[in-house]
Each structure stands twice: as structure tokens, then as C-alpha cells.
């Protein structure tokens, strides 16, 4: 079900072949060839510090009373950095932590795929009891006639979720096609390409609060594309059965080109 690889966390023009002792690797576990997991991407202590600060500055998401956040809307890419300091030492510290962790997330995903991704969005998600994220696809959608369509501006996006706590019940990340549910430990990074082969959602939070940093990333060449995912008038709520039927009928073709992307020589490969 899974394979392991490593992320080079110190990259300096990648000269590690000359001096391999200067580098260390964080293990990447891959499930179903699609879902990638890095435990201890950040330490639980760092996660606890960030959440403790951010809990003081939560704002309710306008369209969902069960989800709050902090630092939302601040772009984090190699070209735009979080810099809206307030003069409050605690808040400014959280901005710096958020920025540095965000850049590390982007780098890890880029290095893993061997592709220069940038962050389309990066935000802090605080899901309260009752919050859920129903089954969906990041890169495709289903229209009112049951047809699978490619989201025009999201066709190659990657999603990355950094888990900042584990003191909650419910809230599992689920992938019905793979019959896989996952509740990561604090500090774990999960990333994947959410196309029609990997529909996913978050089960309802029953108690406690589920806290994440979440990012959607796209290829650097597409950094001028719109950053907000459009909601199409014909888009409908999906079910596993609906998707299985649509795929079996060939309603959508996997027309993404097989780029033959290979991991650069910094990867260590092994099998579970």
C-alpha cells in the first residue's frame, strides 16, 4: 500500500553528493501511489506555539460558522510574503512562523514532484465541532448532468495540509476510492493531487477542534492564473457512486499529459 522516500531538508544548490553528511532526510510515506505523508514535518512544540498564539486572533469564516481561521488571505509565494505586522509581539511572531513553515511546505512539495510549485493560497483552518468538508475533488467537478469536468484553473494543482493538533474526535481525512481514512499526528504534512481519481473530504468534527495550515499549489509557470477556485453554476454535490459511474462511462478522459516527471537525484527510495 505504501512506499517510502526522503525529502532533502537542507538543499543548497543540492551539492549533497559531494558531502552527503551535511544533509538529512525526512521520510515520505506514500499510500496508493497518490497520498504522501511526512510525519514530524514540524515539531509538536512548534505546532503548539503557533496554535496557542493564533487562538487569540481567530475570525469566523463568513460562509461557515463552524470554521474559523487566522492569517487567511495572506499570499505566501517566493514573490509575496506575509508581512502585515501589527506591533503585537505574539501576533508578529505567529506571522513569521506561518511564513517560514509555509515556504518549507511549498519547497517540500516542489522537491518531491520535481516541479517548481508556488502557493496559490495558504491559510489557517480551525474546524469546530459540527464542521466538515464534504466529498469533493480539487481539480475536477461534476455538473448537473453528471459529467466530470476539469476545473479550468486547477487542472494540475496540489493540496498540502499540515496538522497542528490531534486533540479532537471525528475530522478524519477520507478517500473513498481508496477506502482509506487518516487522522495524522501533530506536525504531519499530507499532500496529494486531488483529481477525479482521488476524491476526498473531511468527516464531521465531533469534539475538540481540528487545526491545520492548508495550501493549494500550482506550477510556477501558471502563477498568473486566478488564485480563487471558481464555483460553477452547474456544479453539484458529489457521491462516490456518482463518480464511479461517471468514470466507468468514460465521461471524462484523463487528458493530463504524462510528463514523465522523475524525482531528482536527492531522493532515497525504499519499499515498505
Q: Which residues are CB-neighbours of 51 under 8 A, at least 6 positions away?
A: 164, 165, 211
pTM of the entire predicted model: 0.79
Q: What is the mean pLDDT of residues 81-87?
A: 67
Q: Give 191's Cβ-side CA count (13 Å radius).
A: 28
pLDDT at site 62: 64
Check residue 272 and give its pLDDT.
Answer: 31
DSSP string, 11-65: -SSS-TTT-GGG--EEEEEEETTTEEEETTSS-HHHHHHHHHHHGGG-EEETTEE
Most confident segment among 65-69, 140-144, 218-222: 140-144
Cell 486572533 sits at which residue? 57
Cβ–Cβ under 8 Å, residues 183 and 217: no
pLDDT band at 152 (very low <50, low <70, confident <90, very high): confident
For residue 242, the model assigns a pLDDT of 82
Residue 259 pLDDT more than 60? no
User: How confident is the model over 112-131, as pLDDT tens digits?
Assistant: 999 889 888 888 888 999 99
Q: Is the pLDDT of residue 17 over 50?
A: no
pLDDT band at 147 (very low <50, low <70, confident <90, very high): confident
pLDDT mean across residues, the chain: 76
Q: Where are the beta strands (DSSP E) in the chain?
A: 2-8, 25-31, 35-38, 59-61, 64-69, 117-127, 133-136, 140-142, 148-150, 158-163, 168-170, 173-175, 180-182, 189-192, 200-202, 205-208, 210-219, 269-271
- Residue 2 DSSP class: E
Alpha carbons 97 and 109: distance in angstroms, whole number: 18
pLDDT for 140 equals 85
The whole-number average pLDDT for the span 85-108 is: 86
Which of the following CATH numbers is that of domain 2-271: 2.60.120.620, 2.40.100.10, 3.40.50.2000, 1.10.3300.10?
A: 2.60.120.620
CB 28 within 8 A of CB 40: no
Check: CB of residue 38 under 8 Å from CB of residue 7: yes
Amino acid at each position: 500500500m505504501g512506499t517510502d522516500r526522503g525529502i532533502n531538508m537542507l538543499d543548497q544548490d543540492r551539492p549533497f553528493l559531494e558531502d552527503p553528511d551535511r544533509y538529512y532526510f525526512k521520510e515520505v510515506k506514500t499510500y496508493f501511489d497518490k497520498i504522501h505523508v511526512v510525519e514530524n514535518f514540524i515539531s509538536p512544540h512548534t505546532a503548539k506555539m503557533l496554535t496557542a498564539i493564533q487562538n487569540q486572533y481567530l475570525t469566523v469564516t463568513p460562509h461557515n460558522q463552524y470554521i474559523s481561521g487566522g492569517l487567511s488571505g495572506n499570499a505566501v509565494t517566493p514573490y509575496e510574503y506575509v508581512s502585515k505586522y501589527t506591533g503585537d509581539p505574539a501576533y508578529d511572531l505567529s506571522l513569521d512562523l506561518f511564513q517560514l513553515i509555509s515556504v518549507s511546505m511549498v519547497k517540500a512539495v516542489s522537491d518531491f514532484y520535481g516541479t517548481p510549485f508556488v502557493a496559490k493560497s495558504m491559510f489557517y483552518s480551525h474546524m469546530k465541532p459540527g464542521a466538515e468538508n464534504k466529498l469533493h475533488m480539487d481539480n475536477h467537478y461534476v455538473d448537473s448532468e453528471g459529467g466530470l469536468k476539469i476545473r479550468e484553473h486547477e487542472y494540475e494543482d496540489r493540496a498540502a495540509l499540515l496538522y497542528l493538533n490531534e486533540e479532537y474526535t471525528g475530522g478524519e481525512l477520507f478517500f473513498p476510492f481508496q477506502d482509506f481514512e487518516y487522522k495524522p499526528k501533530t506536525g504531519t504534512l499530507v499532500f496529494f493531487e486531488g483529481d477525479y481519481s482521488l476524491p476526498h473530504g473531511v468527516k464531521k468534527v465531533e469534539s475538540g477542534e481540528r487545526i491545520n495550515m492548508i495550501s493549494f499549489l500550482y506550477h510556477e509557470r501558471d502563477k498568473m492564473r486566478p488564485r480563487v477556485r471558481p464555483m460553477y453554476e452547474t456544479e453539484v454535490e458529489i457521491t462516490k457512486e456518482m463518480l464511479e459511474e461517471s468514470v466507468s462511462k468514460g465521461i471524462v478522459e484523463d487528458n493530463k499529459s504524462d510528463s514523465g516527471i522523475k524525482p531528482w537525484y536527492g531522493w532515497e527510495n525504499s519499499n515498505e
